[in-house]
Copies of this chain bind each other. A is one copy, B any other.
Amino acid sequence: MKKGGHLPSFTLAYETWGKLNPDRSNAVLILSGLSPNAHAASNEKDPSPGWWETMIGPGAPIDTNRFHVIGLNSLGSCKGSTGPASANPETGKPYRLDFPDLCVEDIANSAHMLVTHLGIEQLCTMVGPSMGGMSALAYLQQNPQGARHFLTISSSSNSAPFSIAIRSLQRELIVSDPAWNEGNYDDKHWPVKGMRMARKLGMLSYRSAEEWRTRFGRRKQDYFPTEIFGMNYEVESYLEAAARRFVRSFDPCSYLYLSRAMDWFDIADGYADLPSALAEISLNTACVIGVETDVLFPAYQQKEIADALETWRDNAMASGHPAAVRISSNFSSLYGPQLAGNVTARSSGGSPSSRVTCSTTAWRTSVISDSAE
């Protein structure tokens, strides 16, 4: 692993939709953000809706009539893939803090091992939202011919100081909970408060103040008992309810490892600059999408990736690669039906007034499909 650690063995949880074609050229790999599992959409084995349900399916933007779609739960997560919550084969107990230091590059490397294991030499399209976009960039850096098309949404080539500060404070909240106990928590002694407050802080950073205003105003709440210094307003009960749902659904140690991996990530480490870091990557098309009001993965970071890939295009063209990179940053919103009538929300806050520069058509035809080549 990048920081020198070693896993004797590991499991990756993934789900698939649509058939792999005979020449194994129609695979779409989705590398997810910090918390999602591999269940991006319903399928035969699990008919419950996935976290990107309306995006994936027959006739959907990621059309399972045409593509073999792979949803992967990241290495280090707790949703089926090996992570700090998994049993350490040497002890039979959860790894917790004995899990080796995890980097985004390790997630990328494990994803490539899966793709190779599935007999796929080159992906049709690599898709990465949020942390998944980081993993995708690392994957492509490690495997410059790894995909023909690339779609990244609200991600970054490194962690900006504001996002580091938010995540660092989230981690501090968790490890300051007495029940954290240096990783020795159990079901009865769970860092509930720390996880709950970390989730609230995350939610505050995912959405814009404008959205809160429209959604909640100053309406009072009566869902939870009022506390001496809180729980008066609907915005408070909304955050509390959402945070409570999260607290037990994600392993604290896994959260800490993945969050730290994002802070550490800088794909240009060891390179002169970002264009140099991405220079070897060979893509037919790329699409970079962000939301103008996103504070965790701000629009300027989307532009940095887009600019770097455009630089790559120039280089590539000079050396004869086919290239028709379409770069588009900032689109209306990931919420609701704006994009193709069927993109659902992930997390980044977006105001309805954000500028649209990535059209659905361009994205469908040039990124997801080879037909525009």
CB < 8 Å neighbour of A158 from B218, B239, B260: B218
Q: Tell me which residues across on chain B come within 8 A of A341, comparing CB atoms.
A: none
Q: Tell me which residues across on chain B come within 8 A of A169, comparing CB atoms.
A: 197, 200-201, 204, 239
Is residue A280 contacting chain B, with contact meaning CB distance below 8 A?
Answer: no
Which of A166, A173, A201, A218 has the most chain B CB within a 10 Å cutoff? A218
Nearest B-chain residue to A236, judged by Cβ: B168
> Would A212 and B175 count as touching, CB distance under 8 A?
no
What is the total number of copies of this protein in its complex? 2
Task: Give, as a whole number of angstroms, the nearest-CB distance from A214 to chain B.
Answer: 9
A201 to B176, CA, bound (A): 15
A347 to B163, CA, bound (A): 20
Q: Tell me which residues across on chain B come within 8 A of A172, comparing CB atoms.
A: 197, 200, 229-230
Is residue A213 contacting chain B, with contact meaning CB distance below 8 A?
Answer: yes
> Would A168 and B212 count as touching, CB distance under 8 A?
no
Task: Give, as a whole number of angstroms, the nearest-CB distance from A173 to chain B.
Answer: 6
201-237 of chain A: CB within 8 A of chain B: 201, 204, 209, 212-213, 215-218, 228-236
50-79 of chain A: CB within 8 A of chain B: none
Is residue A313 contacting chain B, with contact meaning CB distance below 8 A?
Answer: no
The 20 sampled A-B contact pairs (Cβ below 8 Å) are A160-B212, A161-B213, A161-B216, A162-B209, A165-B200, A165-B235, A168-B229, A168-B230, A168-B233, A168-B235, A168-B239, A169-B200, A169-B204, A171-B230, A172-B229, A173-B197, A176-B193, A201-B201, A218-B266, A232-B263
Binding site for B on A (CB under 8 A): 97, 158-166, 168-169, 171-178, 193, 197, 200-201, 204, 209, 212-213, 215-218, 228-236, 239, 256, 259-260, 263-264, 266, 295, 298
Contacts A161-B213, A161-B235 supplied; 5 other A-B pairs, CB < 8 Å: A161-B217, A162-B235, A164-B236, A166-B204, A169-B200
